[in-house]
Amino acid sequence: MCTHADTMWNPILEAMDEERLRSLQLKKFQRILRWAYERSPFHRRLYREAGLEPDDVRTLEDVVKVPKVEKSMMREIQCKDPYPYGELLCVDLEEVTEFRQTSGTTGQPVYQADTWEDWEWWSECWAYILFAQGYRKRDRVFIPFGYNVFVAFWAGHYGAEKLGCEVVPGGVLSTEARILKMQELRATAMMGTPTYMLNMADVARTKLGIDPPKDLWIRRITCAGEPGASIPATKKRIEEAWGAKVFDHVGATEIGAWGYECQEQPGGLHVNEAMFLVEIEDPETGESIHEPGKVGKMVITAFDRMAQPCVRFDSKDLIMWADERCPCGRTFRLIKGGVLGRVDDITKVKGVLLAPTAIEEVVRSIPELADEYEVIVTREGDMDRIALKVELRPEAQGKEQEVRGRLVDQLRLKTNLGYEITFHPYGSLPRYEGKARRFKDLRKQGG
Amino acid sequence: MEEASGQRRVSGPDLEILARLVAKIEEAAHELVERACGIQAIERNARRILASSRILRLNVCDPLEL
Ligand SMILES: [Zn+2]
């Protein structure tokens, strides 16, 4: 047995020495850059306008010369021929076998074409994730996800299948029906957004009288779509609610599944550096950040995605390199704390920079509070106001004053802001299946 | 596989041999496409093999060619 073959999907790449890994990245970057330049009129125009030819990239340091692609550029050129992908498409339209689109959280959805080759690549990237998280052939994986135009757990489904797991598609079922099916089939693992994982556990307890750690067989959960599984307080809540290990992974429709937590759970995610080039840059100066511990914006390249390549995509995700290697033996570097937020999410309230994940960490660390909360920022005259709506768990009724005191102190400590806190009846705040929208900045809508 | 000392072998598979086998799969799949006389049941299934063998190429052949 090859060393690490029991813990790594592909130790040839995952445990490759760093020097060879960087050589591999350069070679693969050069290959995808040339492919995009030769096949996509959009990329060719972008590069020619910058005076760049593919041969100009000779070292990894040269990569920064390649112009970045913004989501807004992708929106502008789509819905034209070859319809609906426009000039980003690098293959004949008839080679496209998969359509997906982004959720449109930040504007008009972006359409994404994939070929069979791309789809194999998607499931391969997920195979790296799931194997690293301990999924094996014996697992029966339940996927409580509305299979549709969003890529989300589609690729997780096919990745699990590739590992040899038995996959149960829990598509158009109610939450109650999904839980009962998981119980009946003794499903051992599942995938979902952190929000929905908490919501499901709550429904199991309150509506079905099922205690997930005792009455169900779920022992590992892979989360995506929100930063929650990398927020310690949220991760702990999901782990306790299910009696399962919770793992984070990160991906995006226009990028691919690029990072994953391993079984060592080192407080960060491995970047799949054999499949992706992750660069971090200072959002204000645009300078590259190589040192650990300094937060910046991720610019990412997917080396092997062919139909609609992702070359130096400006993801707007905020990340930082960890300063330590993971004990698991992977050479793939770690990003500390997962995706820390998005450039667009970091907002100034009352003159203070605020990351919504900091509020989540506080709310979820107070055991008396239920999982849901809502933050609303408004402006009255020149004054910003920030309201926080929370719910007490049924067993904590009557403790409002005590909890309020702790909440105020912790919020002040972690975010340096004062909030107008209101308590709402348990179960009255919105529950989400997909990506939650708990942070509402109404100032941007003129509210 | 165990070494005489009982220690686990630390070496991996022979990438050159693996890469040759991947090339053989691809060669055979391409030939299937060429000889399919337009029969889709042959052509498309051979194409599907090529979509999978490309992943073997990424996993095995790319690191070998460094
Ligand atoms: Zn690790």
pLDDT digits (tens, 9 = 90+) for A359-416: 888 999 999 999 899 999 998 887 889 999 999 999 999 999 999 999 999 998 888 8
List the domain boundaries for chain A.
1-342, 347-445
* Count of structural domains, chain B: 1
Does position B4 have pLDDT exceeding 70, yes or no?
no
Q: What share of chain A is helix, strand, coil (3-state, %, to 5)?
A: 35, 25, 40
Q: How many whole angstroms from A439 Cα to the centroid of ligand 1? A: 32
Say if A117 is an interface residue toward chain B (CB within 8 Å).
Answer: yes
Does position A251 have pLDDT exceeding 70, yes or no?
yes
- Chain A partners of B1 at a C-beta cutoff of 8 Å? 1
What is the reported pLDDT for A1?
83
Pick the CATH number of A1-342 from 3.40.50.9100, 3.30.70.1060, 3.40.50.12780, 3.20.20.10: 3.40.50.12780
Query: CA nearest A108: which of A151, A79, A144, A142?
Result: A79
Q: What superfamily in CATH does domain A347-445 come from? A: ANL, C-terminal domain (3.30.300.30)
What is the reported pLDDT for A138?
97
State how far residue A183 is from chain B, nearest Cα, in angstroms: 35
CB spacing of B66 vs A20 below 8 angstroms = yes
Q: Given B12, B48, B65, which is nearest A12 (Cβ)?
A: B12
CA–CA distance, A10 with B15 (Å, rounded to integer) = 13
The residue segments making up the domain with residue B58 are 2-65
CB spacing of B66 vs A24 below 8 angstroms = yes
| B17, B52, B53, B61: best to mutate for the A interface, most A CBs within 10 A | B52
Say if A207 is an interface residue toward chain B (CB within 8 Å).
Answer: no
Stretch A295-322: mean pLDDT, rounded?
97
Q: What number of C-beta contacts closer than 8 Å exist between A and B?
A: 54
Stretch B30-56: mean pLDDT, rounded?
97
CA–CA distance, A260 with A247 (Å, rounded to integer) = 8
Task: Please determine whether the domains at A1-342 and A347-445 fall in the same fold group of CATH.
Answer: no
CA–CA distance, B12 with A12 (Å, rounded to integer) = 7
- Chain B partners of A131 at a C-beta cutoff of 8 Å? none
CA–CA distance, A347 with A441 (Å, rounded to integer) = 9
Q: Given B1, B48, B63, which is nearest A24 (Cβ)?
A: B63
Does position A156 have pLDDT exceeding 90, yes or no?
yes
Q: How many whole angstroms from A330 Cα to the centroid of ligand 1? A: 6
Q: Are strands A245-252 and A220-223 parallel, antiparallel or unpaired?
A: parallel
Q: How many whole angstroms from A133 Cα to the centroid of ligand 1? A: 10
Q: How far is CA A203 from CA A36, A179, A186, in A?
A: 47, 9, 18
What is the reported pTM? 0.89
Question: How buried is residue B7: exposed, middle or buried, by Cβ count under 10 Å (0-12/13-18/19+)?
Answer: exposed
Residues of B with CB under 8 A from a CB of A: 1, 8-13, 15, 47-48, 50-52, 54-55, 58-60, 62-63, 65-66
Which tens digits make up the pLDDT trace of A199-242?
999 999 999 999 999 999 999 999 988 888 889 999 999 999 99
CB spacing of A304 vs B58 below 8 angstroms = yes
What is the reported pLDDT for A444?
67
Band the pLDDT of A342: cuts 50, 70, 90.
confident
